[in-house]
């Protein structure tokens, strides 16, 4: 269990940090005199660096050893958390959050790799992976509520200070119970990862800063140009090299590209709605951070429950059916939120938010399984990293779009309803894509339910 504690500590804190700021955002904004644009940057910049550097973190772990990268990433995350807690102004907090996301990108791929390597006996490995997944799901679920309690009791800086003892314990345990792992020494695509980062950062800058600066402002136009150039050069570079940053040809498989599109849309809708409702409860309904964190529980409590439910039904119901049904329910339920205002009773909000997110854990688990199936055994290790990257990009875009919509509308409720419409549309589109691209292929014994050939021997 010490091994599990060592490896889960970092992953748990990184998962908490992805959601805990949603409830603290209003208090941070008041304390640092931040605009809505600034608050969006504080929430989103963590995801920006995390998403754009996640593939690099996996490549570095392979090249230099998972244990070394895990410890390095934890150290960066620790220092960045201290920087966040001590930040005297908005700019410093944004920079520290960016570094925090980079640290998470370094250690998260190594965490799972080390866990798999430490437990080689199949039954024991399955048990440890199940416990690890449950811990991660639970940490994401409690993030908003934990954030609300900490902010209400100790102030917003406490949400970053709590990382310090947990990460220190994780580092100490890792040095004691996790043996050193040799790296392969393989070449890391520095150019490819740098271009990917520039493209993602430029796109995020346009979405988050566009309304405040004006979409015709020189800095926005330069960012658009950078995005286009970086994407074009990245495409050409990846076609020429033998070690691309991700197995791009997998996207030629309908099932693989489909489930990654589902992951992008689903994550953008889920975390965009979490950001939106956190602002709604505190800004429009004027509740405290503690109350807001507790009122968001119907959105998050289903994460770990869904993971457990998936283990009981996955052999009877296809991944395609699970994803399509749960996403369809989420989209329809979100439509029922469109009339909400300050007079809407909380019980109604709780029921609808709970219904919309009742399948959150099921979608996550079935999405992961469908991705691995679509990639085949040969590329299973890369498939999870690609899906996780796409999910983080979805969160980045979803939160940025919600922020853009709220800034672009003069009436708060008009912005709220437009944002909920975006969330509902993203859920429904994701459900449609899941139903069409990942459904079982009848009458074709050479493919599984994801459309991947059995066995998957090559991409050709």
At residue 441, the pLDDT reads: 52
Output the pTM of the full model: 0.86
DSSP element (H, E) containing 381 = helix 380-408
Report how far apart, in Å, the C-alpha atoms of 21 and of each of 308, 320, 329, 454 are.
26, 32, 27, 43
Q: Are residues 231 and 279 in the same domain?
A: no
Higher per-residue pLDDT: 240 or 449 = 240
Q: Is the pLDDT of residue 128 over 80?
A: no
Q: Are residues 124 and 257 in the same domain?
A: no
Report how far apart, in Å, the C-alpha atoms of 267 and of each of 261, 273, 289, 387 are.
10, 10, 24, 11
Q: Is the pLDDT of residue 258 over 90?
A: yes
Q: Are residues 233 and 255 in the same domain?
A: no
At residue 118, the pLDDT reads: 79
Assess contact for 112 and 388: CB atoms under 8 A.
no
Q: Which residues pair with 453 in a beta bridge?
A: 447
Higher per-residue pLDDT: 138 or 21 = 21
Q: Are residues 312 and 448 in the same domain?
A: yes
Of 177, 259, 181, the closest CA to residue 9 belongs to: 177
Q: Are residues 274 and 408 in the same domain?
A: yes
Domain boundary pick from 202, 226, 242: 242
Q: What is the biggest distance separating any 2 CA atoms in the chain, rounded to whole angstroms?
A: 63
- Between 88-92, 287-291, 371-375, 418-422, the lowest mean confidence (pLDDT) is in 371-375
Q: Are residues 53 and 123 in the same domain?
A: yes
Q: Are residues 131 and 196 in the same domain?
A: no
Q: Is the pLDDT of residue 449 over 60?
A: no
Domain boundary pick from 186, 211, 233: 186
Count the domains in the chain: 3
Q: Are residues 229 and 114 in the same domain?
A: no
Q: State the pLDDT confidence band at 130, using cuts at 50, 70 and 90.
A: low
Q: What secondary structure letter does DSSP report for 455?
A: S
Domain boundary pick from 242, 264, 279: 242
Name the H helices within 438-460.
Answer: none
Q: What secondary structure letter does DSSP report for 178?
A: S
Q: Are residues 27 and 120 in the same domain?
A: yes
Q: Is the pLDDT of residue 440 over 70?
A: no
The boundaries of the domain holding residue 289 are 250-460
Assess contact for 181 and 114: CB atoms under 8 A.
yes
Q: Is the pLDDT of residue 101 over 60?
A: yes
Mean pLDDT computed over 30-54:
92
Could you tell me the CATH number of the domain that includes residue 70? Answer: 1.20.1250.20
Assess contact for 267 and 259: CB atoms under 8 A.
no
The mean pLDDT value of the chain amounts to: 86
Of 207, 255, 200, the closest CA to residue 422 belongs to: 207
Q: Are residues 194 and 124 in the same domain?
A: no
At residue 453, the pLDDT reads: 40
Q: Are residues 147 and 217 in the same domain?
A: no
What does 188-215 look like in DSSP terms, one character per residue?
A: P-HHHHHHHHHHHHHHHHHHHHHHHH-T
215 φ, ψ to 5°? -70, -15
Mean pLDDT computed over 232-260:
88
Q: Are residues 442 and 459 in the same domain?
A: yes
Most confident option among 181-190, 248-257, 297-306, 329-338: 329-338
Q: What is the pLDDT of residues 322-375, one digit of tens each?
A: 999 999 999 999 999 999 988 899 999 999 999 998 888 788 888 888 887 888
459 φ, ψ to 5°? -85, -10
Give every CB contact of residue 301 below 8 A, 6+ residues apart in sequence: 141, 354
Q: What is the pLDDT of residues 134-191, one digit of tens each?
A: 677 677 777 888 888 999 889 999 999 999 999 999 999 999 998 888 877 778 888 9
At residue 20, the pLDDT reads: 84
């Amino acid at each position: 269990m010490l091994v599990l504690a060592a490896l889960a500590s970092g992953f748990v804190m990184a998962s908490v940090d992805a959601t805990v700021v949603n409830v603290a955002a209003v208090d941070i904004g008041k304390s640092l005199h931040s605009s809505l644009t600034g608050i969006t940057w504080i929430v989103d910049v963590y995801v920006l660096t995390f998403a754009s550097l996640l593939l690099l973190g996996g490549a570095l772990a392979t090249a230099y050893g998972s244990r070394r990268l895990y410890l390095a990433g934890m150290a960066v995350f620790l220092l960045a958390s201290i920087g966040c807690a001590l930040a005297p102004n908005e700019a410093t907090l944004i920079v520290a959050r960016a570094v925090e996301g980079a640290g998470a990108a370094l250690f998260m791929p190594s965490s799972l790799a080390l866990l798999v390597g430490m437990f080689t006996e199949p039954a024991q490995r399955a048990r440890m992976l199940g416990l690890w997944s449950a811990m991660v799901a639970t940490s994401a679920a409690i993030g908003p509520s934990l954030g609300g309690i900490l902010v209400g009791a100790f102030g917003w800086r406490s949400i970053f200070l709590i990382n310090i003892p947990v990460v220190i314990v994780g580092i100490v345990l890792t040095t004691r119970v996790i043996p050193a792992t040799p790296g392969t020494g393989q070449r890391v695509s520095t150019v490819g990862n740098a271009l990917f980062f520039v493209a993602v950062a430029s796109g995020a800058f346009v979405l988050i800063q566009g309304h405040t600066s004006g979409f015709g402002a020189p800095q926005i136009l330069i960012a658009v140009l950078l995005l286009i150039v970086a994407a074009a050069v990245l495409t050409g570079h990846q076609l020429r090299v033998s070690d691309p940053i991700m197995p791009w040809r997998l996207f030629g498989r309908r099932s693989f590209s489909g489930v990654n599109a589902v992951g992008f849309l689903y994550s953008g809708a889920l975390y965009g709605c979490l950001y939106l409702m956190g602002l709604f409860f505190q800004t429009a309904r004027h509740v405290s951070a503690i109350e807001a964190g507790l009122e968001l529980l119907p959105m998050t409590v289903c994460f770990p429950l869904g993971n457990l439910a998936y283990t009981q039904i996955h052999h009877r119901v296809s991944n395609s059916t699970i994803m399509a049904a749960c996403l369809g329910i989420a989209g329809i339920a979100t439509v029922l939120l469109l009339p909400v205002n300050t007079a809407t009773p909380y019980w109604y909000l709780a029921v609808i938010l709970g219904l919309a997110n009742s399948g959150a854990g099921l979608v996550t688990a079935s999405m992961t399984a469908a991705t691995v199936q679509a990639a085949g055994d040969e590329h299973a290790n890369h498939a999870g990293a690609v899906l996780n990257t796409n999910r983080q990009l979805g969160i980045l875009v979803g939160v940025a779009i919600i922020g853009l919509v709220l800034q672009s509308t003069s009436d708060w409720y008009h912005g709220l309803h437009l944002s909920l419409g975006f969330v509902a549309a993203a859920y429904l589109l994701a459900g449609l894509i899941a139903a069409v691209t990942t459904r079982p292929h009848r009458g074709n014994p050479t493919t599984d339910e994801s459309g991947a050939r059995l066995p998957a021997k090559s991409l050709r």
